[in-house]
Structure 1
Amino acid sequence: MEPLSNHYALLRILKIAALLLSASLLSHCTSHPYRGDAARYSTPATSPAVEENSIAKSRPGLGTELGHELTDTSSTATFYRKSTGQPDAMATFHYNDDEGARLMASLQGRPARRDGGFELIPGKLRVTVMDGSRYSSSALDHYESGQGIFVIGTPGENYSLKLANRTSRRMEVVVSVDGLSLLDGQPASARKPGYIIPAKSAVILRGMRVGGKLYSLEFGSVKESRASTAFGQKGARNVGVIGMACYEEDEIVRRRAQVEESYVREGARAFGS
């Protein structure tokens, strides 16, 4: 009988060992999801918005921020584009602080520092970037190198754009700053409306219109630029460039419209129908 008793004792020991091993494995398995959940909530992944903000924050140089609100004295008028598809001429220039502008110019050749305006589109459009003072504004210096123009800005300073029409006819100019239209603060397109400049005359653009209000243009950081704050990293990629798209006017269509208006006015009655 002893061998049988020993056999039962051995079976009992094996069962106890199996139960202990099972409990140990169960405890081990249930602890992992708990630790995993704790780690997932305590160290959340960085959101794309935070990553984009960090990238923009780390970028050196200038961007264009919206400054104080301005009184908008502009008005609307009809312009008859000769080309309804592509503009007749397009050109861009860049801006940055002194160090950044000089470096960009050096990458294209031997930079020359100049004052005053510059012929952005020879024979058509002359541009002068001016400081923000309304009554004693002066032109900002710029570097010229190869085919590039690089305007020198100062952080915290307002600026304006003076556009001079060099032709003997009216011209429409679509303007973008940091890839945004000055007329609505949204992503720019050459087909959007622009500013009408009379023949042999100039206009000064002092701000960007956003939400129906006009705000001054101010040199600031890339992170706080209108392009970055409104459109994230995608908008920040276009910081530092100013573009102009010029349209000539279809004089025949304009003249026809004036004649038609003359006939309408001839039929006007002073005292009702």
Structure 2
Amino acid sequence: MAVMALAGCGGGASSPAKSGSEPMAESASFDATPNAAPAAPGQAPQGGEASGAAIRGDMKAEQEAPREPSNRPGLGTTWGETRDSKITTSPFVRADSKNAFATAALFYTDEEGARSMANASGFKRFSEGSIDVGGGVITAKLKSGNGMFLSGFEATGKKFIVGQAGERYSIVLQSHVPARLEVVVSVDGLDVIDGKAASFGKRGYLLDPNGSIEIDGFRQSMDTVAAFRFGSVRNSYAEKKTGDARNVGVIGVALFNEQGTNPSSWPRGDTQKRLDANPFPGQFATPPSN
């Protein structure tokens, strides 16, 4: 089991590092306190008592009609079983507190969805699905519960991972640069740390120089997560929590560099070198040397 660290706010004082009780722990930075963890589907959010103006006895409170669950085909991510996943907090000040310097999206679907897109423009199968974020600053992959990386396909300029209903998965992020990064991650439009609508203002996990982390669920506390499991859109955490399935089927990754660092100066490895390769480097003819 790995221990990850959460990063603190950019542009202000960061929380002091906290040591984990496990020899390996994920380190990440975030603003939320442990009691701000996401609520399980159907569970009331944690917090104090509601306050508001008194309602006259002769007035009836309007009740919003319950929304019909989505019947969209394909996969969503459900709120799975509780798993041990310890984290600590560590100081991290962003170079830009509001804007990520790189973002990427990794889509997922089931085999039926893959077959339905087989005739789409640019369709191509691959054995191990991954995306490069920031031109090779990091790579992101999905790993199944049996330890194998999931395969997928590319179509219409997007990369899709193929999963199966009931299958547990985790998000594996590998850094290829010699600097710390803060990584904000979303699943189906929800932040993986607080379970609310994802945004750049949320805090993320810390990725050490050339290091890797594995995110295996929605965070419930400093010690546990609710596992990511593929399921129907109807039973997805996003649908059950918000009644909105419009963002189901996509995983988002946003990268923030630390104050005092410059992403443009980092070596990007062979991937970036290949992308920058010039097929016609010469401009004009020159005379022979002798």
TM over 0.5: yes
The aligned counterpart of 2:209 is 199
The aligned counterpart of 1:164 is 174
The aligned counterpart of 1:266 is none
Q: Structure 2 CA distance, aligned partners of 1:105 and 1:203?
A: 33
What secondary structure is seen at the aligned counterpart in 1 of 2:185?
strand
Is residue 184 of structure 1 aligned with residue 201 of structure 2?
Answer: no
Alignment of 1:88-107 (within 5 A): 88-104=101-117, 106-107=119-120
What secondary structure is seen at the aligned counterpart in 2 of 1:80?
coil
The aligned counterpart of 1:155 is 165
Asked whether the equivalents of residues 63 and 178 of structure 1 are also in contact (C-alpha less than 8 Å), the reply is: yes
**Per-residue CA distance 1:213-236 (angstroms, 9 max, x = gap):** 51100000111100000000x3x1
Asked whether the equivalents of residues 96 and 153 of structure 1 are also in contact (C-alpha less than 8 Å), the reply is: yes
Selected match of 1:248 from 246, 257, 269: 257
Selected match of 1:112 from 117, 124, 146: 124
What secondary structure is seen at the aligned counterpart in 2 of 1:156?
coil
Tell me by how many angstroms 1:211 deviates: 6.8
Q: Structure 1's 214 and 115: CA in aligned 2 closer, same or farther, altered over 3 A?
A: same
The one-letter code sitting in structure 2 at the alignment partner of 1:154 is Q
Q: Structure 1's 104 and 172: CA in aligned 2 closer, same or farther, altered over 3 A?
A: farther
The aligned counterpart of 2:3 is none
Tell me by how many angstroms 1:245 deviates: 0.7
**TM superposition outliers: structure 1 runs of 4+ over 3 Å:** 101-107, 210-213
Q: Structure 1 CA distance, aligned partners of 2:85 and 2:256?
A: 24
Asked whether the equivalents of residues 105 and 149 of structure 1 are also in contact (C-alpha less than 8 Å), the reply is: no
What secondary structure is seen at the aligned counterpart in 1 of 2:87?
coil
Asked whether the equivalents of residues 89 and 246 of structure 1 are also in contact (C-alpha less than 8 Å), the reply is: yes
- Aligned-pair RMSD on alpha carbons? 1.8
Q: Structure 1's 105 and 175: CA in aligned 2 closer, same or farther, altered over 3 A?
A: farther
Tell me by how many angstroms 1:101 deviates: 3.5
Q: Structure 2 CA distance, aligned partners of 1:190 and 1:48?
A: 32
Asked whether the equivalents of residues 129 and 161 of structure 2 are also in contact (C-alpha less than 8 Å), the reply is: no
TM-score, normalised via structure 1 length? 0.67
TM-score, normalised via structure 2 length? 0.64
Percent of counterpart pairs with the same letter? 36
Which stretches in structure 2 are left out of the alignment for 5+ residues?
A: 1-63, 262-290
Is residue 228 of structure 1 aligned with residue 245 of structure 2?
Answer: no
What secondary structure is seen at the aligned counterpart in 2 of 1:76?
strand
Tell me by how many angstroms 1:188 deviates: 0.8
Asked whether the equivalents of residues 184 and 211 of structure 1 are also in contact (C-alpha less than 8 Å), the reply is: no
